[in-house]
Amino acid sequence: MSDAVSRAVAHAPRGAGVYVFLGPRADLLYIGKARDIRRRLADHARALSRAVTRTAEVRWVECADEAEAVCLEADLIVSLRPRFNASHAADVYEYVRLETASRSVTFTITDTPSGRGVYGGFPHLGKGKTSWPAVRSKAGFSALLRLLWVAHEGSHFPSRLHGDSPPVTHTTTIDDLSPTRAFLSGTSRRLLADLATAVDSPDVPKFMRGQLRKDLDAAEQFYWLGPCRARTLRRRHGLRSPVDEGAFREAVTADLRDAIGPFSA
């Protein structure tokens, strides 16, 4: 059956996208992404991996660029867990909960969607995830927490905010929570403009501004990878917020079936 991948090479596009290996009963075996689908399939055909030797059919979804392909691949692997993709034993579908007490706001990363002030879900935010969207989501959320601290508490943030792994729970002071809520729901990037103003404040030491501007870029990546993508999925499928893990998987599976035709997950 390895001939299926070799045959697919001749028909595959030269652009970016996600490709899918299916078994004899259209059972899902493997999902990959590529800058050049044809070239990547040719690599697979030469390598003759276990997934390739069991493949009866190859299908693909073309994407606008490699970044879109990387994000789509990550969503599909988390949702469908193909047999020959790397194990994702540590995967937990996460949400962000905001709890307020006067001006004090607690951010909690949680796998429980119940209750008020819950945003997401964010399938790539949890610990143990190593895909590009996961790495950038975690770094971006950490950056967001640092920026909020600098904007409302001062330039010396606590040790729990150092690095690219966000704390499970973090409490800070925020005067107006509306922009943060809109940011986490994927409806507005206004918060980033407010934080950029805070970064350039005379109260922030000049030596910190370069790193904080990088944090602004990282927080924007989190917005597009997390809140914005979650909102797009909600609107496309008419889902309520927050999107629970089951609904996310059903929506992502339906999108793939629309793109490549029937398969068995």
Confidence at residue 1, expressed as pLDDT on a 0 to 100 scale: 47
Confidence at residue 86, expressed as pLDDT on a 0 to 100 scale: 77
DSSP 264: B
38-53 burial, b for 16+ CB within 10 Å, e for fewer? bebbbebbeeeeebbe
In this structure, which topology does domain 3-86+251-260 adopt according to CATH?
GIY-YIG endonuclease (3.40.1440)
Confidence at residue 102, expressed as pLDDT on a 0 to 100 scale: 83
Low-confidence spans in the chain with pLDDT less than 50: 1, 89
Annotated domain spans of the chain? 3-86+251-260, 94-243
Confidence at residue 91, expressed as pLDDT on a 0 to 100 scale: 64
Confidence at residue 154, expressed as pLDDT on a 0 to 100 scale: 84
Confidence at residue 258, expressed as pLDDT on a 0 to 100 scale: 97
Summarised one tens digit per residue, pLDDT across range 169-202 is 999 999 899 999 999 999 999 999 999 999 999 9
